[in-house]
Amino acid sequence: MFSIFPSARLRPSPFFEATVTDGVTSFTTYNHMLMPTGFGKPEEEYWRIINGVSMWDVAVERQVQLKGPDAGKLAQILSPRDLSKCAVGQGKYVALCNHHGVLINDPILLKLADDLYWFSIADSNIWFWAQAVAAERGLNVEISEPDVSPLAVQGPKAEAVIASMFGDWVKELKYFWFKETEIEGIPVAVARSGWSKQGGFEIYLMDGSKGTQLWNMVKEAGKPWDIGPGNPNACERVESGLLSFGGDTDGQTNPYEVRMGKYVDLDVPDDVVGIQALRKIKADGPKRHQLGVRLEGSEPIMTAFHWFDIMQGNQKIGGMTNIVWSWRLKQNIGFALVSVDAKPGDAVQVIRDGKPVNGTLCELPFI
């Protein structure tokens, strides 16, 4: 239909050539890069994540590196989650907010040393944001985008693959914790993390010239477990209730609306960006919340290009922010960002192509 290619501006991932060799059929853009979104067999790719092991080029999850004496101070100023007990080698899921308490990214924060942190970011320009805040606050910290590219290995058999490559110590890694190491001379960090609920690891490649080599090592090591290429899987993540920043959020969304309130600590210092606004939002009570919606009908509905309106009678109560065919539930499901007056169990109508489809609100996750 049409083509899209990397360039100096739409930067190639270190794994780009390897994914082309392995038959990638579609990409999306993310952080000014291309990310594979399929290898031509969506259902097979889905079941491989549920039952086996899948490898993903997620180099688009760029690292915003904070380095220097004030790195820890800046990390805390940018994150309304208490980082005072974050240990070296630990990662934490954090909600970055602007001064109005609006969510602007949902990265994983990795603490590599007392003076070295990475925000492993979702799709927005945090590099600019961190530089601006650091300069305005007069902090002694250098902000950069290092040559670091995650490769995810996800699924119930991921641990066996990663242990066969790196050793049994990986089995002891706690969720979001990581360790720097090397494999055949390639510097990497190995983390227990990834955007699925099927378990898995991420290998942070720290030398972009070794992308094809690392990809092929994982592919080879995974053969006994029938590893195959995949990508952050829309169906699995919706079933599992994982948030997609920018997909499920808009320019007004605060963490409380999208189930991230548990990552906001209201007693962090007053200089944390957005904390005053978040305290007020919490005190006033958020206006919207995120639920699931299950639609009637036994045929897959094509992916949405935009949010679908959700109605109760003739009143619009919010939007359906994604839609997938769930192979496990055998129905169309998605997330609803709706008025807090709408509750699980409520009947709703989702407007698709101008026509209402009946649905029911439910708690997340679906599975």
| Binding residue for ligand THG, selected from 45, 70, 202, 257, defined by CB under 6 A | 202
Contact segment (CB under 6 A) with ligand THG among 76-84, 115-123, 140-148, 340-348 equals 115-123
Q: How many residues bind ligand THG (CB under 6 A)?
A: 15
| Binding residue for ligand THG, selected from 71, 234, 242, 264, defined by CB under 6 A | 242
Does 195 sit near ligand THG (CB under 6 A)?
yes
Does 348 sit near ligand THG (CB under 6 A)?
no
Does 61 sit near ligand THG (CB under 6 A)?
yes
Compare residues 12 and 241 and give the one whose CB is closer to ligand THG. Answer: 241
Q: Which two tokens stand for residue 164?
A: 């066969």
| Binding residue for ligand THG, selected from 121, 170, 218, 278, defined by CB under 6 A | 121
| Binding residue for ligand THG, selected from 36, 52, 101, 107, defined by CB under 6 A | 107
Contact segment (CB under 6 A) with ligand THG among 21-29, 137-145, 191-199, 311-319 equals 191-199
Q: Which two tokens stand for residue 13?
A: 């991932």
The CB-of-245 to ligand THG minimum distance in angstroms stands at: 7
Contact segment (CB under 6 A) with ligand THG among 76-84, 106-114, 159-167, 315-323 equals 106-114
Compare residues 193 and 231 and give the one whose CB is closer to ligand THG. Answer: 193
The CB-of-41 to ligand THG minimum distance in angstroms stands at: 22
Q: How many secondary structure helices (H) and strands (E) does the chain include?
A: 8, 22
Q: Are 292 and 333 in contact (CB under 8 A)?
A: yes
Alpha-carbon distance 151 to 217, whole Å?
Answer: 12
Please state, in angstroms and as integers, the Cα–Cα distance from residue 60 to each residue in 121, 125, 156, 245, following that order: 8, 12, 24, 14
- DSSP states along 170-204: GGGPPTT-EEEEEETTEEEEEES--SSSS-EEEEE
Compare residues 150 and 230 and give the one whose CB is closer to ligand THG. Answer: 150
Q: Which residues contact 359 (CB under 8 A, 6 or more apart)?
A: 293, 294, 295, 296, 310, 347, 348, 349, 350
Contact segment (CB under 6 A) with ligand THG among 21-29, 188-196, 274-282, 325-333 equals 188-196
- DSSP states along 286-305: -SEEEEEEEES-SSPPPPPS
| Binding residue for ligand THG, selected from 193, 198, 253, 321, defined by CB under 6 A | 193
HSE value, Cβ hemisphere, 13 Å, CA-based, for 263: 21
| Binding residue for ligand THG, selected from 19, 120, 290, 322, defined by CB under 6 A | 120
Q: Which two tokens stand for residue 191?
A: 């983390």
Residue environment code for 103-114, b if the CB has 16+ CB neighbours within 10 A, otherwise e: bbbbbbbbbbee
Alpha-carbon distance 256 to 318, whole Å?
Answer: 16
Compare residues 83 and 121 and give the one whose CB is closer to ligand THG. Answer: 121
Q: Hey, which residues between 139 and 178 contact ligand THG (CB under 6 A)?
A: 150
The CB-of-181 to ligand THG minimum distance in angstroms stands at: 16
Burial label for 286, CB within 10 Å (0-12, 13-18, 19+), is: middle
Q: Which residues contact 286 (CB under 8 A, 6 or more apart)?
A: 254, 256, 257, 340
Q: Are 69 and 116 in contact (CB under 8 A)?
A: no
Strand partners, 85: none
Compare residues 14 and 107 and give the one whose CB is closer to ligand THG. Answer: 107
Contact segment (CB under 6 A) with ligand THG among 39-47, 127-135, 187-195, 326-334 equals 187-195
Does 258 sit near ligand THG (CB under 6 A)?
no
Alpha-carbon distance 173 to 197, whole Å?
Answer: 16
Contact segment (CB under 6 A) with ligand THG among 118-126, 279-287, 316-324, 346-354 equals 118-126
Kindly list the residues in this chain that would bind ligand THG in the complex (CB under 6 A): 61, 93, 106-108, 120-122, 150, 193-195, 202, 242-243
